[in-house]
Chain A
Amino acid sequence: MNIVDLITIPLQYPFMVKAIVVSSVVGAVCALLSCFLILKGWSLLGDAISHAVLPGVVLAYIIGIPFSVGGFIFALLAVLLIGSIKTHTKIKEDAVMGIVFTTLFALGLILISRTVSSIDLMHVLFGYVLGISDVAAWYTIGVSAVVAAIILTFRRTLLLFCFDPTHMQSVGVSAKFIHYFLLVLLAVTITASLQTVGIILVIAMLITPGSTAFLLTKRFPVMLVIASVVSVVSSVVGAYASYYLDVSTGGAIVFFQGCVFLGAFAFSVIRSHRKKNTSVVSV
């Protein structure tokens, strides 16, 4: 079998084409968002929100509304709970997040265990992009495209918010508004990624690509490009790997992203080592 066959054979199956397209789109939007999240120090918040959507997904199933609607409502609930507990107590933010997301996640587990249904916990947690329906696929692509367009359009505002919210406020632009704006984008992205990689693995998609790009560049626009490319390539590689090796698609995507991160890490260590050596020589 030659390389062309290796690439084209899986594409004969519509479910593979769908899986590759949807994972790539989700990968791209998560990558864009991850650049802002890691610079702002919000990685744990992505973690918290993604766990907290579980009860929303189960309730949506019970009531019969789209999963993402239920997920989105609980994502917002988690954000509001974290915010209000933090402002009214002396407990540090990481502890507050830990309490809120584990409690909501536990509620989700309880609901699932009491629901006689075809809802598969494994699919919610780790995604099942090979079995995604046409409607869900189009929904995911549509939402991702809108979120990506919003992020790119307002990237300068979001960047200033991450870098210096005090300056932003001091020129009369509400940092609080942008704070919630970014949170809503995060919640929407997580719920849109539900069926592709699931609520556990989406955390990786929201942290790893941005971190990888951060190691490789000192320019923010370049960072956005590197993160997106790394993420989309990982999605495609992951989808093919799941076909040929018969392994979990979400697992393969996230694992490959982690490998790319390790490569970038090794590269950045070697680069800074070389720089040190050359500067010693030049002195």
Chain B
Amino acid sequence: MYAIELHNVSVEYQDRMGLENASIQIPEGTFSGVIGMNGAGKSTLFKVIMGLVRPTSGSVLVDQKTPLQAQKEGVVAYVPQNELVDWDFPVSVYDVVMMGRFGLQNIFRTPRAEDHAQVMNALEKVGMKEYRDRQIGELSGGQKKRVFVARALAHGADILLLDEPFAGVDAKSEHALTELLLTLKQAGKTIILSTHELTSLSEYCDHVALIKKTVVAYGPTTEVFTRDNVTQTFDGAMHRIKFSA
């Protein structure tokens, strides 16, 4: 079964192409790294999966459904880049995780007992329970990430999209975060993250997608994370990286 299926997807913005004829089939329960240069189309790919951008042509299936249907059923959860979040916002860790329940609540969004239970459960899983009353700006880079992973868990989504989760996060927190994501993978979640950390990629990603306006290659890390593919994706030789083949 595939969590994500894109067939010949093109996205045309006003002044440029976001994606051209991109096709990818991401199996359920895998941990995929999405790599490519800035502006290569990684964000567009994420937006297509989340149903925020409608492809100009091609077809998209998320958990066998249309992206809009998947939105309604809460299939995909998104962890934003740290720099896109207003960390001065007057909300606590608990408040942010509760936002994960938003799509499941009635129109007044009044939290019920079930919502509180799921929020505590999610906070427990990411190890952020003691920090629940902190204002979100009072956390380290790694803790901030875990709060948003908790929000995705509270949401109950089966597919997690993480946009540059390691940007602004130290090595120790990066390790803690990948451990957490690997646990979630064991529990059956599909993890998809974009990253510039090519050196450690093969340690936790079992699949890799190389993006350059289209999907240059996608498959098991051992097969597609090769010098040739990476060179083609990044327009040049990449040194200091351990390749699979």
A and B interact? yes
Whether A219 and B90, one on each chain, are in contact in the complex, defined by CB atoms closer than 8 angstroms, is: yes
Whether B91 and A220, one on each chain, are in contact in the complex, defined by CB atoms closer than 8 angstroms, is: yes
Please provide the chain A residues from 123 to 148 with a CB less than 8 Å away from any CB of chain B in the complex. Answer: none
Neighbour of A166 across the interface among B80, B89, B91, B108, CB < 8 A: B80
- Is the interface on chain B under 10, 10 to 19, 20 to 34, or 35 or more residues? 20 to 34
Whether B108 and A167, one on each chain, are in contact in the complex, defined by CB atoms closer than 8 angstroms, is: no
Bound Cα distance A154, B108 (Å) = 6
Q: Given contacts A164-B80, A218-B135, are A153 and B52 in contact (CB under 8 A)?
A: no
Bound Cα distance A159, B96 (Å) = 11
Chain B positions within 8 Å of A167 at CB level: 78, 80, 99, 102, 151
Chain A positions within 8 Å of B77 at CB level: 170
Whether B50 and A160, one on each chain, are in contact in the complex, defined by CB atoms closer than 8 angstroms, is: no
User: In the assembled complex, how far is the CB of residue B230 from the closest CB belonging to chain A, in whole angstroms?
Assistant: 29
Whether A171 and B95, one on each chain, are in contact in the complex, defined by CB atoms closer than 8 angstroms, is: no
Whether B71 and A170, one on each chain, are in contact in the complex, defined by CB atoms closer than 8 angstroms, is: yes
Asked if A217 is an interface residue, CB under 8 A from chain B, the answer is yes
User: In the assembled complex, how far is the CB of residue B189 from the closest CB belonging to chain A, in whole angstroms?
Assistant: 16
Whether B89 and A163, one on each chain, are in contact in the complex, defined by CB atoms closer than 8 angstroms, is: yes
Nearest residue (CB) in A for B76 is: A170
Please provide the chain A residues from 208 to 253 with a CB less than 8 Å away from any CB of chain B in the complex. Answer: 214, 217-220, 223
Chain B facing A: main interface SS: mixed
Asked if B155 is an interface residue, CB under 8 A from chain A, the answer is yes
Whether B102 and A168, one on each chain, are in contact in the complex, defined by CB atoms closer than 8 angstroms, is: yes
Whether A170 and B50, one on each chain, are in contact in the complex, defined by CB atoms closer than 8 angstroms, is: yes
Bound Cα distance A162, B95 (Å) = 14
Chain A positions within 8 Å of B99 at CB level: 160, 163-164, 167
Bound Cα distance A162, B86 (Å) = 10
Chain A positions within 8 Å of B71 at CB level: 169-172
Whether B109 and A164, one on each chain, are in contact in the complex, defined by CB atoms closer than 8 angstroms, is: no
Q: Given contacts A156-B109, A166-B80, are A171 and B74 in contact (CB under 8 A)?
A: yes
Asked if B29 is an interface residue, CB under 8 A from chain A, the answer is no
- Taken residue by residue from 144 to 167, chain B's Cβ proximity to chain A (1 for < 8 Å, 0 otherwise) reads as 000000010001000000000000
Neighbour of A218 across the interface among B72, B80, B90, B109, CB < 8 A: B90
Chain A positions within 8 Å of B91 at CB level: 159, 163, 220
Whether B51 and A170, one on each chain, are in contact in the complex, defined by CB atoms closer than 8 angstroms, is: yes
Chain A positions within 8 Å of B80 at CB level: 164, 166-167
Asked if B180 is an interface residue, CB under 8 A from chain A, the answer is no
Q: How many A-B residue pairs have CB under 8 A?
A: 67
Whether A172 and B68, one on each chain, are in contact in the complex, defined by CB atoms closer than 8 angstroms, is: yes
User: In the assembled complex, how far is the CB of residue B228 from the closest CB belonging to chain A, in whole angstroms?
Assistant: 35
Chain A positions within 8 Å of B76 at CB level: 170
Asked if B226 is an interface residue, CB under 8 A from chain A, the answer is no
Please provide the chain A residues from 151 to 193 with a CB less than 8 Å away from any CB of chain B in the complex. Answer: 153-154, 156-157, 159-160, 162-164, 166-173
User: In the assembled complex, how far is the CB of residue A259 from the closest CB belonging to chain B, in whole angstroms?
Assistant: 23
Asked if B103 is an interface residue, CB under 8 A from chain A, the answer is yes
Asked if A119 is an interface residue, CB under 8 A from chain B, the answer is no
Q: Given contacts A163-B99, A166-B52, A218-B135, are A39 and B74 in contact (CB under 8 A)?
A: no
Whether A172 and B78, one on each chain, are in contact in the complex, defined by CB atoms closer than 8 angstroms, is: no
Nearest residue (CB) in A for B155 is: A171
Whether A220 and B90, one on each chain, are in contact in the complex, defined by CB atoms closer than 8 angstroms, is: yes
Please provide the chain A residues from 68 to 111 with a CB less than 8 Å away from any CB of chain B in the complex. Answer: none
- Taken residue by residue from 97 to 118, chain B's Cβ proximity to chain A (1 for < 8 Å, 0 otherwise) reads as 0010011000011100000000
User: In the assembled complex, how far is the CB of residue B66 from the closest CB belonging to chain A, in whole angstroms?
Assistant: 12
Q: Closest 8 interchain pairs by CB?
A: A171-B103, A172-B71, A156-B109, A218-B135, A172-B72, A220-B90, A170-B50, A218-B90
* Supplied contacts A154-B108, A169-B52, A170-B51, 9 more A-B pairs, CB within 8 Å: A160-B109, A163-B89, A163-B91, A170-B52, A171-B71, A218-B90, A218-B92, A219-B92, A223-B90
A-B contact pairs, 6 of them (CB 8 A): A156-B108, A156-B109, A164-B99, A166-B80, A170-B51, A173-B102
| Residues of chain B having any CB pair with chain A under 8 Å | 50-52, 68, 71-72, 74, 76-78, 80, 85-86, 89-92, 95, 99, 102-103, 108-110, 135, 151, 155
| Residues of chain A having any CB pair with chain B under 8 Å | 39, 153-154, 156-157, 159-160, 162-164, 166-173, 214, 217-220, 223
